Amino acid sequence: MLKKLAPQKLAVIITLLVLTVATLLLGGCGNKQAASTGSNNTPTSGSQGKEKVIGVSLLTREHVFYNEIEKAIQDKSNGYKFKAVIMDASQDSNKQMSQVQDFITQKVDAIVLAPTTSAGIAPAVDLAQKAGIPVFTVDIKADGEVKSHVATDNYAGGKLAAKYAADKVLKGKGKVAIITYSEVQSCVDREKGFKDGLADYPNIKVVDVENYSGSAEKAANLTQDMLLKYPDLDLIFAVGDPAATGAVSTIKAAGRSVKVIGFDGNPEAIQEIKKGGLWVADVAQHPDQIGGKVIDLINDYFNGKSVPPQLLIPPTIIDASNAK
Domain that holds residue 251: 154-284
In a domain, 11, yes or no: no
Q: Taking the model in full, what pTM does it have? A: 0.75
Q: Which residue has the higher pLDDT, 67 or 47?
A: 67
Tell me, yes or no, whether 135 and 83 share the same domain.
Answer: yes
Q: Are residues 170 and 241 in the same domain?
A: yes
Q: What value does the mean pLDDT take over residues 205-231?
A: 97
Closest CA to 56 of 72, 41, 45, 40: 72
Give the model's pLDDT for residue 49: 63
Dihedral (CA of 234, 162, 178, 249) sign: positive
219 & 200 share domain = yes
First to last CA, the chain: 93
Angle between helices 64-80 and 287-302 (to 10 degrees): 30
Whether residue 23 is predicted with pLDDT greater than 80 in this model: the reply is no
- Segment 257-304, tens digit of pLDDT: 999 999 999 899 999 999 999 999 999 999 999 999 999 999 999 999
Residue 29: inside a domain, yes or no? no
Distance (Å, whole) CA 123 – CA 131: 12
Q: Which span out of 6-15, 65-74, 112-121 was modeled with the highest average pLDDT?
A: 65-74
- Residue 200 is predicted with a pLDDT of 94
pLDDT higher than threshold 70 for residue 46: no
Sheet (strand 174-180) strand order = 204-211, 174-180, 235-238, 259-264, 279-284, 316-319
6 belongs to a structural domain: no
Mean pLDDT, residues 183-197 taken together: 94
Q: What is the pLDDT of residue 186?
A: 87
**pLDDT for residue 118:** 84
Q: Are residues 89 and 123 in the same domain?
A: yes
Least confident segment among 14-18, 122-126, 168-172, 227-231? 14-18
Q: What percent of the chain clears pLDDT 90, i.e. is strictly above it? A: 77
Claim to verify: residue 160 and residue 278 sit in the same structural domain: yes
pLDDT, the chain, mean = 87
Residue 37 confidence (pLDDT) above 70: no
Average pLDDT over residues 180-206: 95
pLDDT at position 230 over 50: yes
Structural domain count, the chain: 2
For the cut 50, the answer to whether the pLDDT of residue 12 exceeds it is no
- The reply to whether 203 and 229 lie within a common domain is yes
Using CB atoms within 10 Å of the CB of residue 195, give its burial: 0 to 12 exposed, 13 to 18 middle, 19+ buried. middle
Residue whose C-alpha is closest to residue 116's, from 42, 179, 62, 45: 62
Pick from 253, 259, 286: nearest CA to 272: 259
Contact present, 314 and 99 (Cβ < 8 Å): no
Residue 20 domain-assigned (yes or no) = no
Confidence of residue 59 (pLDDT cuts 50, 70, 90): very high
Of the ranges 3-17, 22-36, 110-124, which one carries the lowest mean pLDDT score? 22-36
Do 268 and 168 share a structural domain? yes
Q: Which of 2-6, 51-55, 67-71 has the lowest mean pLDDT?
A: 2-6
Q: Are residues 139 and 174 in the same domain?
A: no
Residue 125 maps to a domain: yes
For residue 172, the one-letter residue type is: G
| Claim to verify: residue 158 and residue 81 sit in the same structural domain | no
* 266-to-18, 120, 184, 191, 284 alpha-carbon distances in Å: 65, 27, 19, 19, 8
Which residues have a Cβ under 8 Å from the Cβ of 245 and sit 6 or more positions away?
Answer: 216, 219, 262, 268, 269
Which domain CATH number covers 121? 3.40.50.2300
CB 269 within 8 A of CB 282: yes
The predicted structure's pLDDT at residue 223:
98
Query: Is 38 within the bounds of a domain?
Result: no
User: How much is the pLDDT for 312?
Assistant: 97
Residue 56 pLDDT > 70, yes or no? yes
Query: Does residue 133 lie in a domain region?
Result: yes
Question: What does the buried/exposed string (b/e) look like for 288-306 if buried means 16 or more CB atoms within 10 Å of the residue's CB?
Answer: bbbbbbbbebbbebbeeee
Are residues 172 and 135 part of one domain? no
- The more confident residue out of 209 and 144 is 209
pLDDT digits (tens, 9 = 90+) for 127-184: 999 999 999 999 988 988 999 999 999 999 999 999 999 999 999 999 999 999 998 8
Q: In this predicted structure, what is the pLDDT of residue 8? A: 42
Question: Do residues 132 and 222 share a domain?
Answer: no
Q: Are residues 118 and 183 in the same domain?
A: no
Within a domain: residue 146? yes
pLDDT at residue 55 greater than cutoff 50:
yes
Q: What is the mean pLDDT of residues 109-134?
A: 94
Distances in whole angstroms, Cα of residue 72 to Cα of each of 69, 143, 231, 293, 307: 5, 25, 44, 9, 19
